[in-house]
Amino acid sequence: MPTKFLHTADLQLGLTRHFLGSDAQPRFAAARNDAIRSIGELAADEGCSFVVACGDVFESNHVSRQVVVRALDALGDVPVPVYLLPGNHDPLDAGSVYRSATFRASVPSNVHVLESGAPVEASPGAWLVAAPWLSKHPLEDLAARSLSDLRELLADADGRAVGPARILVAHGIVDLLSPDATDPAAILLAGLENALGAGIVHYVALGDRHSVTDVGATGRVWYSGAPEATDYDEVDSGAVLVVELPDDLHAPPRVEPRQIGTWRFVREVHPLDSGDDIARLAADLQGRDAKDRTVLKLGFEGSLSLRDKARIDEVLESARDLYAGVQLWDRMTDLAVLPEDADFESLGLAGFAAEALEELRAAAERPGVDGVTARDALALLVRLAGSGER
């Protein structure tokens, strides 16, 4: 019968983000456990025989006891066996979370750690062949090593592979996608494709890349992506893969991404040259869905008066109250603040305050950091004066 399973990776349980709002970090952490429960529901709905999580299940080997216990409680609710691969964030070294007393005391019977490259029968007629990370800095292609061992195990007298459906479970960057051509731990795509062509394995389940990715031309090498978004550069995260290997293992597998994630990381650049631009931005930010699960990084281009700069500051302050997090994208911001006489006409300052204003106006004309600081101070002054808080 066909082999059907769920492929996921990079849950990174215990992950923290410093730029999240004060109430957002606990919700961000809870969403990762909610993702496990969604995986369990999807596995049941799809009739999957097991779930494989291809590395970085935990953010590190030093996550808190609470993170471990809550994760294992959620994994215990998954109605099929779950196989966890140690990755670069949670390698199976001497201090591994998988070897901790907390993990061993709390691990449910349906959860299994893939500790070696020896084949594991995940369901009748389906083997998992793992390439676990035993340290944070391996000096070889771990997938290639496991494939070599498997090739020797399966070869018959004619040198042909025999046996059930075989799934390679690995973690790391494929050389085709790696920015570092000298990385000794990069997974060589040619080696994977040779093993697939020879029938040594029939599907390669990968973790490490947080976006769903079909690698190469075989349709059998996939990154599942992270089931919940973790950062801005992920183009297709928040999914898991439903994989079905047919009875005829020469036929291509059926791989279907399914969205389960609820968080989003969004980067945008907005032109700002007038009050109308600011009004449009404010309306846009106000009208979006799921603001409490959206993290924004905003860049701006254009030139504004001090009064308009004060309005932008108010828009951002309001957004920070609504969104899980709001950051300024400094690298993509080129916003000139140009003080105008009209910005100061209604301030009604006198004496020492008026003298300080003139000093700030002079400083605002200077280039560099001093000028930026002075313009920010003037914008704050205009804003406070306009709100009656001075």
pLDDT digits (tens, 9 = 90+) for 319-332: 999 999 999 998 88
- Other Cβ atoms closer than 10 A to 6: 26
Asked whether the predicted pLDDT for residue 95 surpasses 80, the reply is yes
Mean pLDDT of 38-56: 98
Q: What per-residue confidence (pLDDT) applies to 384?
A: 62
pLDDT digits (tens, 9 = 90+) for 238-285: 999 999 999 999 999 999 999 999 999 999 999 998 889 999 999 999
Mean pLDDT of 334-356: 64
- Strand 334-337 with 294-304, pairing: parallel
- Strand 165-171 with 203-207, pairing: parallel
Q: Does domain 3-259 have CATH number 3.60.21.10?
A: yes
Q: What per-residue confidence (pLDDT) applies to 350?
A: 61
Residue limits of CATH 3.60.21.10 in the chain: 3-259
pLDDT digits (tens, 9 = 90+) for 142-166: 999 999 999 988 875 354 555 689 9
The candidate with the shortest Cα–Cα distance to 73, out of 98, 108, 30, is: 108
Q: pTM above the 0.75 mark?
A: yes
pLDDT digits (tens, 9 = 90+) for 18-32: 888 789 999 999 999
